[in-house]
Chain A
C-alpha cells in the first residue's frame, strides 16, 4: 500500500516559520491535503489540492507539492497553531494519511 511519511514532531518559536513535510513515492503526481487536529478536537481541513486554503484558514498557511514531498508552511506561527498535522493523498481508490506531526510552539 501507498505510504506517506511525516516527521513525528516539529518545534518552532512564536513568530517564526514552521515547515512540516510529507514524503511519498511520486507524491507530486497526486494532490496532497493537510489537516490540523488540536487536542481533544476533530480534524480540520487546512490545505487541499496541494496549495488551496479553505475560507476558514488564514493566509499564514500555505502548501506545496513536488517530486516526492509535500510541504505545509505556517508563517508567523502562533501558540494557537500548536496541534497534530496530517497529510493525506489518494492512491487510486484508497485515501492514505501520513502518521502525523506534532507541532510544538515554544
Chain B
C-alpha cells in the first residue's frame, strides 16, 4: 500500500522558517518524482514544487521561488520542503504527492494526508 506521511507542520511566526518532511513507503521511491501541493483554508489546490527521482530536475511555483527549497533522500525514502521567510498567506495544509511520469508528462497519483502550517504574527 502506497503511503505518504507528512510531518513538521506547526504554528510559526511571520518571517520564520519551517521544514516539512514526507516519509514514503509501499512503493519503489526511487522510481517516482515527488511534489508538494498546498491548500489554504477553504481554498483550492496550489502546486508548489517538484523534484525528479534523481533530484536532477526541480521546479518551483513563482509564489515560493527563492523562499522554499525541495530536497529528497532516496536512501531514507523521504522528501523535504524547507520553508523560509514565511508569510501569512503561506498558512495552509501541505500535501506530499507522489508524481508519476508518462509520455513526457507528470501527474500526481498519490497524496499524503497533509500537515497544517499556520503562520501568525
Q: Which residues of A contact B (CB under 8 A)?
A: 1, 31, 33, 35, 37, 42-45, 48-49, 54, 86, 88, 90, 93-100
Contact call A49/B47, Cβ cutoff below 8 A: no
Distance in angstroms from A16 CB to nearest chain B CB is 26
Contact call B59/A93, Cβ cutoff below 8 A: yes
Q: Which residues of chain A are within 8 angstroms of B30 by Cβ–Cβ distance?
A: none
Contact call B107/A33, Cβ cutoff below 8 A: yes
Distance in angstroms from B90 CB to nearest chain A CB is 17
Contact call A97/B113, Cβ cutoff below 8 A: no
Question: Which chain B residue has the least Cβ–Cβ distance from A98?
Answer: B44
Can you give 11 contacting A-B residue pairs, CB < 8 Å? A31-B107, A42-B112, A45-B107, A45-B109, A49-B102, A49-B107, A88-B47, A94-B62, A96-B47, A98-B44, A100-B45
Chain B contact-residue range equals 20 to 34
Picked from A42, A49, A54, the residue with its CB within 8 Å of the CB of B95 is A42
Contact call B95/A45, Cβ cutoff below 8 A: no
Contact call A94/B47, Cβ cutoff below 8 A: yes
Q: In the complex, A53 Cα to B109 Cα: how many Å?
A: 11
Known A43-B95, A94-B47, A94-B59; judge A49-B105 contact (CB<8 A). yes
Q: In the complex, A90 Cα to B113 Cα: how many Å?
A: 23
**Which residues of chain B from 89 to 121 have a CB within 8 Å of any chain A CB?**
95, 100, 102-103, 105-114
Distance in angstroms from A50 CB to nearest chain B CB is 10
Contact call A31/B105, Cβ cutoff below 8 A: yes
